[in-house]
Structure 1
Amino acid sequence: MRLIRRIPGANPLPFDPDETPIKRGDRLMMISADQKQLTFPMPQHPILFYVQNRKFAYETDVNSEPIAQACTVMAYYARTAKASSVIYSDCNGTVMASGSIVLIRKPNGNLVAKALHTRGGHPIADYKPFKVGASVSEADLSYSIAVGLDANVCDDVVAIERANE
């Protein structure tokens, strides 16, 4: 999705251009437009959107609520020359959480976009405490992974923007 023109007086949520290092135990926030099983119990009114001859469907609900949750960094892997940074956290990332924005608070108090949530544990482990490892059963495997919005990703976004001008 793209705006046709800038909105006067609106400031976009900034990325983290100086790539503030984070560590285990740091606080972050995940904002989701919609997640199954994390919204208020209301009557369900599902809406399906189909794209390309019914090959892809996006489901939402008219009663869905945006969700903001405070989380803790459980592990952080810094960006390399070939890969973006990765954050493991204890955020509850249920079905439809992919694409949720992960924010950190800078020392000056400003919130900045640090990462995008990409996946979590198996739905059977929703709401269970953070737990990972080779010996952890699928029923207990509970985590959220987010890919950093660092220079690697930002360079790709700028290239896409320029190609579409």
Structure 2
Amino acid sequence: MNDIKNSARLIAHTLLSHAKQNEEITDEIILNIIDRVEATMASVGQAIDKRELFEILVADFSIGKGSITEMNGDITPWLYSRKDDINWELWHRYKSYMHEKDPSFPINDLDDFTDKILDKCYNPKESGSWDRRGMVVGHVQSGKTSNYVGLINKATDAGYKVIIVIAGTISSLRRQT
């Protein structure tokens, strides 16, 4: 993300964080904020692409708003009964990293969403053999990478020993992953 786009995004996040305390973020609120960001950026001689900023902000504030589609419902939920017994060392480290990188990142939404996904996986402490596969799908800048990196950290903390990520055919995206 270039400096101008990133600056506009950070200004918008700051303004939206105040709106988020009082009400749910809607498209209308985002559009109003973008108008304010555009005026701010214009005052220092910088232009922004309002449509692109809108798409980025909608994606930023939609983490955890998606749904988990389950193809096979034979898994017994287990996470919430064991959650207090797990040392969430990697998850807490990732959470701190995400907060340092972007204080406006909706980490609590990510925490809830990854819990829901992990709860749909087998309990790694169960004996016997099993395998579980999943796929993360979403729009550009919708939080896919942060979602599965968070899930990998939680799964490792919970006791999973092998986690395989297949990350597509585009070299630049594989490097990012």
Q: Which interval holds the TM-score relative to the shorter structure?
A: under 0.3
Query: What is the TM-score normalised by the length of structure 2?
Result: 0.22
**What TM-score, normalized to structure 1?**
0.23
Query: Which protein has the larger Cα radius of gyration, Structure 1 or Structure 2?
Result: 2
| Structure richer in helix, relative to its length | 2
More strand by share: 1
